[in-house]
Amino acid sequence: MLENSSKTDLSSLGEFGLIDHLTKHFEIVNESSIKGVGDDAAVIEYSGKQTLVSTDMLVEGVHFDLSYVPLKHLGYKAVTVNLSDICAMNAMPKQITVSIAVSSRFPVEALEELYSGIQAACNNYKVDLVGGDTTTSLTGLIISVTAIGEALKEDITFRNGANDKDLICVTGDLGGAYMGLQLLEREKSVFKDNPNLQPDLEGNDYILERQLKPEARIDIPILLKALGVKPTSMIDVSDGLASELFHLCKQSDKGCQLFEEKIPIDPMTYDRARQFNLDPTLCALSGGEDYELLFTVPLADHEKIANHPDITIIGHMTPRSEGLNLITKNLVSAPLKAQGWDSFK
């Protein structure tokens, strides 16, 4: 349901009129944003820092389902998943561009809601919208966001720097977004069978928010710097913990030992997984879309992070020859399997 119930046809504004209409309330907040929306290209200036650029595309029917995803939430999420990639480089996001392809079934008011979510994310994370594009789609809604960030050269963290005995750490908790998706899909199926039934979502706010309105961990690069910790490798958890750990190990040419009992899982996530007859650990390993940060630090930094409430040490890196292993709660070592999200499967 749109907050504005009127319906204005996109053709009444035209491409450039639509861009002006949707972006007129965005304000520039970063000194590095010299020129934003309204010209042929944005102008960005950094002094003594390196620029980071990351792009993600969200496609209706593949990445989101508008039968239960509010457009405002979708706009917010489209921004945060891109900002998360910049944070995963131990850097700070500063600007975004947003491009959309939209079919004629969407009125102007629908796009206003989408952009209100985009603006909410920009305001929350203090990033500037500096450009983008709009075009027609014959199949639905497509959103492409490019995030631009900055960092000192010595602060940037790649995926390929992990060493033997480095500690494997993760922020927050895992599996919640996946369980939120399971709940939404269940209620969608119930509604399709009986449109007279109202969705039963009460008491599930946490996992629903993890799915519909995830947050980028922009606080973690700041926190790590304050703690005097420079990660040796880092990635964000978008496709599932196991899949991301595979990436770190492959890029760093290492193996790992991951301890099941150490994987942080929120009590609601755990309980809902059991209600769905799912293994909570598997949800955390393969669910994805948590957008927490997975990183490695030298063993010497153990005391700096061991007692932080939002960082959990879940394992350590090993020589590549030892492989990637999950140490179960029964202390049995089993090969770690990556079954996370793959757009082409």
Q: Give the pLDDT confidence of 69-110 residue by residue, as tens digits.
A: 999 999 999 999 999 999 999 999 999 999 999 998 899 899
* pTM for this model (two decimals): 0.89
Q: Where are the alpha helices (DSSP H) in 276-315?
A: 280-286, 302-305
Domain boundaries, the chain: 10-151, 167-335
In this structure, what DSSP letter does residue 89 have? Answer: T
Rg (C-alpha) for the chain, rounded Å, is 21
At residue 82, what is the residue type? N
At residue 91, what is the residue type? A
Cα dihedral 319, 321, 325, 331 in deg (nearest 10): -80
Instruction: For the chain, give the percent of residues with pLDDT over 90.
Output: 72
Q: Superfamily for 10-151?
A: PurM-like, N-terminal domain (3.30.1330.10)
CA distance 175 to 289: 8
CA distance 159 to 11: 45
Q: Which fold has domain 167-335?
A: Phosphoribosyl-aminoimidazole Synthetase; Chain A, domain 2 (3.90.650)
For the cut 80, the answer to whether the pLDDT of residue 11 exceeds it is no
CA distance 213 to 75: 9
Out of 74-88, 130-144, 235-249, 279-293, which region has the weakest mean confidence (pLDDT)? Answer: 130-144
Residue with tokens 């509010």: 70
C-alpha distances out from residue 26 to 42, 113, 141, 295, Å: 14, 14, 22, 34
CA distance 342 to 345: 6
